[in-house]
């Protein structure tokens, strides 16, 4: 059993392969007791921990003043009941106050997990178990379920919740966090990944946590380019290979809040969830609402180990079945032609993809409605007959006759004001009555909380894609939510628009996966604007960034892998201008993830095409390692100016070292001379399939010389080794 309850000391214990999480039921309250290594753990209980009476901290019992919600490490916290730290749950009662205090009623330990659909959540396997704790606020009668699901082998435990209103009237959930964790100590640092469009996750921040709230958040209705929901809370001395690290993430694609704060008891509270700024939910009597799943992991051995837990979790419990198939090497039309596509161009493009040994051609934006630029047509999901006179099906048959598969771009959540859809249904966009509707990329966001919008989209796609053999969808999303209001929701429900929007989006994703079961979906939000575990649940991979410069991608890809595996990281070689050296650099950076190409191969010199053929053939010799291998970082481009890492699977190792120009270096550059493949099998002999040189496993473990780089004019160079056991 990975979850147990010991009646003798009221302890709940949740164990994973290497970690233990424990809390105690005391006075009807869940008191946090331990999160860390399983081996050698001692879990204190209230019998061991002497309570402290702290001035100004409220208590309920004159004879037990030390029992205060303000000073105990809690599993969850409720606004207004004497816990003055950041609150996990605030509910406005029917009488207008926002005070609640939930006490334990019962618990169940069950196999598998609680279904949150349409909200995505980690998929259960044979070992998955869930602890379901029921609590009640005895004044309002509202019921709270706190769920803990254990993903044993990945060392991941998840936290999520449900509230059912039994108060007899409406209540309003005003702040809601999925996870609340009170860790002992206050000497932690928070690592978070900020950024912007085209520089996603490159603001790699490491900030001391102290008194006062330190938060990461998105208020954009999307997880966003600007701030990712991933957080690592680590010991001050933690580095890639050493030190304690707690990792967190949220299986959600909308606005979120993560917060950290240390307190007078020298404990640190960490929370992650929907927050309050972009979320309130009017809950009717008898209604239940769910908070998305937050995941957490503990690593006693640095950031690398934490990342591997998350990679493993996402690969095994998040991505769809389709993601386990070999991924196609795609050729995408966007950077080749932008909107200037038509049937003949795309068929020639497909033939060129086949000629270069690629597997699939992707027809990006510009194939539908009046979409000849970004000013018109979004929402009108019928084929543009000027560009595809015979319709989609005969065109796709021509594409397939060239020998490649076919993928197509969609952006279901959006509408241009200049579209038939908007003209017919101006009330289907997110907007607030009487207020101007902001544009972004000349588009508006459809109100996905409105079932009529979802029905329209399903009907349009059903008709347009009927009998069209589509192998891949690229699902884009190119603006975020302003004026968050719904023309159809009641005034009391407007605060839940963004939450309901996500439910609508997830239900449409679910419909796509069922309607087109053979098609793979790639997620995109102007690149990596929704690079989160919830999107990864539906989509096998994500277009990592609209920035395809190898130089910028080194940083973007390096930090993305702190939280997410290479298997979801879609990377394209773009725009080589007849320069083989550049092509080599772009390729070596792109094979940090799932390889594709995105430029006009029709205008490309033969020598470039020959090189691409060789690249694709080479990639096929090691793509399994990238998709399924275990990832080890050796050197951070942020610290050393060299990004070095390897993937290991069975008897093979793919090692990469990329010299950057060092502009983004944080702190001092350290000289890096050797790369140590520490998990090589020491008794084995390996041959590098690229250079033909042989190494013993012991040599690889001790470290191989990087050798001289030959930087180009901008200071970049890259090296690749593919070791195979012989
Ligand atoms: C943004 C995406 O990130 C690009 O790859 C491309 O699909 C464009 N949208 C198309 O409008």
Task: Tell me, in angstroms, the distance from the centre of ligand 1 to residue 337's CA.
Answer: 12
Q: Are 513 and 320 in contact (CB under 8 A)?
A: yes
Q: What is the DSSP letter of 493?
A: G
User: In 3-state terms, what secondary structure has residue 554?
Assistant: helix
Distance CA 102, CA 201 (A): 38
Told to judge if 476 belongs to the known catalytic residues of this protein, a careful annotator would answer yes
Please report the atom of ligand 1 found closest to the CA of residue 364: 7
Sequential DSSP letters for 590-615: HTTSEEEEES-GGG--HHHHHHHHHH
Q: Which residue has the tokens 């919830």?
A: 534
Task: List, chain by chain if needed, residues with CB within 6 Å of any ligand 1 atom.
Answer: 334, 364-365, 409, 476, 478, 524, 526-527, 543, 546
Give yes or no for a contact between 569 and 317, defined as CB atoms under 8 angstroms apart: no
What ligand 1 atom has the least distance to the C-alpha of 527? 3
Q: What is the DSSP annotation of 610-632?
A: HHHHHHHHHHHHHHHHHHHSEEE
pLDDT value, residue 536? 98
Q: Which of 364, 447, 471, 476 is catalytic?
A: 476
CA of 276 to the centre of ligand 1 (A): 31
The pLDDT of residue 670 is 57
Ligand 1 center to 522 CA (angstroms): 12
Angle at alpha carbon of residue 587, lines to 685 and 330, rounded to 5°: 110
> Which pLDDT value is given to residue 673?
82
Identify the residue whose C-alpha is closest to ligand 1 atom 4: 526
* Residue among 546, 570, 571 whose CB has most ligand 1 atoms within 8 A, to mutate: 546
* 635: three-class secondary structure by DSSP: strand
Given 546, 552, 584, 688, which residue is catalytic? 546
Burial of 170 (0-12, 13-18, 19+ CB in 10 A): middle
Average pLDDT, consecutive stretches of 10 residues, N- to C-terminus, the chain (726 residues): 95 98 97 97 91 94 95 97 97 96 98 98 97 97 98 98 97 98 97 97 95 97 98 98 98 98 97 97 98 98 98 98 98 98 98 98 98 98 98 98 98 98 98 96 98 98 98 98 98 98 98 98 97 98 96 96 98 90 96 97 94 98 98 92 95 96 48 90 97 97 90 88 98
Q: Which of 371, 543, 570, 596 to mutate to test the pocket of ligand 1 (most atoms within 8 A of CB)?
A: 543
Nearest CA to ligand 1 atom 3: 526
Give start and end residues of each alpha helix (H) in 518-576.
533-538, 550-560
CB 259: neighbour CB atoms within 10 A? Answer: 23
Exposed/middle/buried for residue 467 (C-beta within 10 Å: 0-12, 13-18, 19+): exposed
Spell out where 16-113 has E strands: 19-26, 29-37, 89-92, 102-111
Measured in Å, residue 572 CA sits from the centre of ligand 1 at 13
Residues linked to residue 275 through DSSP beta bridges, in sequence order: 176
For the CA of 409, the nearest atom of ligand 1: 7
712 catalytic, yes or no? Answer: no
Give just the sign of the alpha carbon dihedral 294, 298, 303, 307: negative
Separation of 524 CA from ligand 1 center, angstroms? 8
Residue 56 neighbours by CB distance under 10 Å:
8
């Amino acid at each position: 059993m990975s979850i147990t309850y010991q009646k003798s000391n009221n302890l709940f214990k949740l164990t994973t392969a290497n970690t233990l999480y424990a809390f105690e039921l005391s006075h009807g309250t869940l008191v946090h007791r331990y999160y860390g290594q399983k081996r050698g753990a001692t879990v204190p209980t209230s019998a061991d921990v002497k309570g402290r009476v702290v001035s100004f901290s409220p208590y309920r019992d004159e004879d037990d003043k030390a029992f205060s919600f303000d000073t105990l490490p809690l599993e969850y916290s409720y606004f207004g009941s004497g816990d003055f730290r950041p609150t996990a749950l605030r509910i406005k009662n029917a009488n207008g106050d926002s005070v609640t205090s939930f006490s334990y009623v019962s618990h169940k330990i069950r196999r598998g997990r609680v279904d949150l659909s349409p909200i995505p959540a980690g998929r259960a396997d044979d070992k998955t178990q869930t602890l379901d704790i029921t609590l009640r606020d005895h004044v309002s009668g509202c019921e709270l379920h706190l769920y803990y699901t254990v993903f044993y082998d990945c060392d991941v435990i998840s936290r999520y919740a449900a509230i059912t209103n039994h108060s007899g009237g409406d209540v309003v959930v005003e702040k809601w966090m999925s996870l609340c964790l009170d860790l002992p100590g206050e000497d932690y640092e928070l690592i978070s990944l900020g950024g912007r469009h085209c520089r996603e996750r490159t603001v790699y921040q490491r900030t001391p946590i102290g008194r006062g709230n330190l938060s990461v958040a998105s208020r954009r209705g999307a997880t966003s380019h600007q701030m990712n929901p991933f957080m690592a809370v680590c010991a001050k001395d933690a580095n890639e290979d050493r030190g304690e690290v707690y990792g967190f993430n949220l299986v959600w694609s909308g606005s979120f809040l993560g917060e950290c704060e240390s307190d007078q008891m020298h404990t640190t509270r960490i929370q992650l969830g929907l927050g309050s700024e972009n979320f309130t939910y009017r809950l009717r009597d008898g209604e239940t609402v769910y908070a998305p799943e937050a995941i957490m992991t503990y690593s006693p051995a640095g950031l690398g180990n934490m990342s591997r837990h998350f990679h493993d979790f996402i690969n095994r419990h998040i991505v769809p079945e389709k993601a386990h198939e070999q991924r196609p090497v795609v050729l995408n039309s966007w950077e080749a032609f932008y909107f200037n596509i038509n049937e003949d161009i795309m068929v020639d493009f497909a033939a060129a993809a086949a000629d270069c040994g690629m597997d699939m051609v992707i027809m990006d934006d510009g194939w539908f409605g009046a979409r000849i630029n970004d000013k018109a047509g979004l929402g009108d999901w019928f084929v543009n007959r000027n560009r595809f006179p015979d319709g989609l099906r005969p065109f796709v048959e021509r594409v397939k006759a060239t020998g490649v598969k076919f993928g197509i771009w969609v952006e279901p959540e959006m509408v241009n004001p200049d579209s038939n859809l908007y003209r017919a249904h101006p009330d289907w966009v997110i907007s607030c009555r009487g207020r101007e509707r902001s544009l972004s990329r000349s588009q508006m966001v459809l109100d996905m909380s409105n079932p009529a919008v979802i029905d329209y989209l399903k009907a349009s796609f059903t008709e347009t894609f009927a009998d069209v053999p589509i192998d891949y969808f690229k699902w884009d999303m190119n603006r975020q939510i302003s004026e968050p209001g719904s023309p159809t929701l009641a005034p009391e429900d407007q605060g839940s628009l963004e939450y309901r929007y996500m439910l609508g989006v997830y239900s449409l994703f679910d419909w796509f996966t069922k309607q087109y079961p053979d098609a793979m979906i790639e997620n995109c939000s102007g690149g990596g604007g929704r690079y989160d575990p919830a999107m990864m649940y539906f989509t096998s991979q994500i277009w990592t960034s609209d920035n395809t410069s190898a130089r910028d991608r080194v940083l973007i890809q390096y930090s993305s892998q702190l939280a997410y595996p290479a298997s979801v990281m879609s990377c394209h070689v773009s725009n080589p201008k007849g320069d083989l050296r550049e092509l080599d650099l772009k390729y070596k950076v792109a094979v940090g993830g799932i390889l594709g190409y995105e430029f006009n191969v029709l205008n490309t010199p033969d020598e470039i095409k020959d090189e691409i053929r060789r690249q694709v053939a080479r990639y096929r010799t090691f793509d399994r390692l990238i998709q399924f291998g275990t990832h080890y970082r050796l050197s951070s481009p942020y610290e050393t100016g060299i990004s070095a890492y390897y993937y290991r699977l069975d008897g093979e190792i793919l090692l990469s070292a990329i010299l950057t120009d060092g502009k983004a270096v944080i702190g001092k550059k350290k000289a890096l001379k050797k790369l140590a493949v520490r998990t090589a099998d020491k008794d084995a002999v390996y041959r590098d399939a690229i250079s033909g040189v042989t190494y013993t496993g012991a040599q690889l473990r001790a470290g191989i010389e990087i050798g001289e780089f030959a930087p180009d004019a901008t200071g970049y160079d890259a090296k690749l080794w593919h070791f195979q056991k012989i």
